[in-house]
Amino acid sequence: MGSKGRGYREYVHEGFTILVGKADADNDELTFDVAEPRDFWLHVGGCPGSHVVVRNPGNLAELPKPVLQRAAELAAWYSKARGARGKVDVHVCRVADVGKPRGFARGEVRLARFENVRVYPPARAPG
């Protein structure tokens, strides 16, 4: 994991690079400047949290289940839902489906379409 000096954390899981925004402005930069339209984007539903981007250089139609699970757990951990006792909803879509209408606050976005994954937040910090 290397992220010093950048507005996001970087993880690698089963060969896939997963990027996690650190703050609202960093989330915007990650989603709209760093990510590619074909990459996958995740965010916990209904509460503040980091934007999570899974790189998709092979233009896969969907992520392998273990990679999706790990990325969704990271989205849950880096959100206000971290301490939830049950499963939390995590929205998943392509970066191309993420938009920022005029007047939206930093880190706030609108999704054209998304799927939902339910995961338990990890019991301890990802490493």
| C-beta separation of 75 from 27 below 8 A | no
Q: Where are the domains positioned within the chain?
A: 8-119
pTM of this prediction? 0.93
Going residue by residue through the chain (127 aa), what tens digit of pLDDT does each one get?
555 678 999 999 999 999 999 999 999 999 999 999 999 999 999 999 999 999 999 999 999 999 999 999 999 999 999 999 899 999 999 999 999 999 999 989 999 999 999 999 998 878 7
Start-end of H helices in 18-64: 24-29
